[in-house]
């Protein structure tokens, strides 16, 4: 294994790939990386990975069974699982996992998201904490997100569900029905303010704590 990794790293560098810390990058037997791609430290390639010219894989990312197109940026701390297909100039950021999903040109999934069994349209922005809820305990279901969609942070997309082109979801929404093109979906409980309740609540807790301290 050590001898193979040494040869693979040397070959990648000879082929015009930039390895910023070669000794920390691990290849599979069939890894394909295009010229002028950049691989940062502590990246692991499982079987079936193709990275096109000009793409950048940032530190501590794990890739297997996926395709990363020209100009795309992955990581740091990203995971691409089998069936992940990233088109040109896609951004996949830290703590993002993608599985069996096609992500179209220029889409951004920058923070803390799971995108599984999904299609993401061009120029769409996926907010932090977005989850495609693809598994019902027996079957996997698909989520379809159109082009130029803005998915608000902490949105739960309960598949099967479709978001039309140019649509938007409000932060914190749980989306269970299709959203039409150009529409905004808001699916969250309304905020209710109870005047003075916080003070009363903590006064009560402190009184209980004091009573316990006295052995009452």
User: Tokens 């390895």 appear where?
Assistant: 19
CATH superfamily, domain 2-191, is: Hexapeptide repeat proteins (2.160.10.10)
Per-residue pLDDT, 215: 65
Q: What mean pLDDT comes out for the span 115-138?
A: 98
Catalytic center residues = 111
Per-residue pLDDT band for 121 (boundaries 50, 70, 90) equals very high
Per-residue pLDDT band for 123 (boundaries 50, 70, 90) equals very high
Give burial (CB, 10 Å; 0-12/13-18/19+) of 44.
middle
Mean pLDDT of all residues belonging to the chain: 97
Per-residue pLDDT, 35: 97
Q: What mean pLDDT comes out for the span 138-153?
A: 98
Q: Mind listing the pLDDT tens digit for each residue in 22-76? A: 999 999 999 999 999 999 999 999 999 999 999 999 999 999 999 999 999 999 9
Per-residue pLDDT, 216: 53
Q: Mind listing the pLDDT tens digit for each residue in 169-186? A: 999 999 999 999 999 999
Question: For residues 120 and 106, what is the distance between their CA atoms, to the nearest angstrom?
Answer: 10
């Amino acid at each position: 294994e050590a001898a193979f990794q040494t040869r693979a790293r040397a070959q990648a560098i000879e082929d015009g790939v930039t390895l910023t810390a070669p000794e920390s990058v691990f290849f599979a037997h069939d890894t394909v990386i295009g010229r002028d791609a950049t691989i940062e430290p502590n990246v692991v390639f499982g079987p079936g990975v193709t990275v096109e010219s000009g793409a950048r894989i940032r530190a501590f990312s794990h890739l297997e069974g996926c395709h990363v197109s020209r100009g795309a940026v992955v990581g740091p701390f990203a995971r691409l699982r089998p069936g992940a297909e990233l088109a040109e100039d896609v951004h996949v950021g830290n703590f993002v996992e993608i599985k069996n999903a096609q992500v179209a040109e220029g889409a951004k999934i920058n923070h803390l998201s799971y995108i599984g069994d999904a299609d993401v349209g061009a120029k769409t922005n996926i907010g932090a904490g977005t989850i495609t809820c693809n598994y019902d305990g027996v079957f996997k279901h698909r989520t379809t997100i159109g082009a130029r969609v803005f998915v608000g942070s902490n949105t739960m997309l309960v598949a099967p569900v479709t978001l039309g082109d140019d649509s938007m979801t409000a932060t914190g929404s749980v989306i269970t029905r299709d959203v039409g093109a150009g529409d905004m979906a808001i699916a969250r409980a309304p905020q209710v303010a109870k005047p003075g309740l916080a003070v009363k609540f903590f006064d009560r807790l402190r009184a209980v704590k004091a009573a316990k301290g006295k052995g009452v």
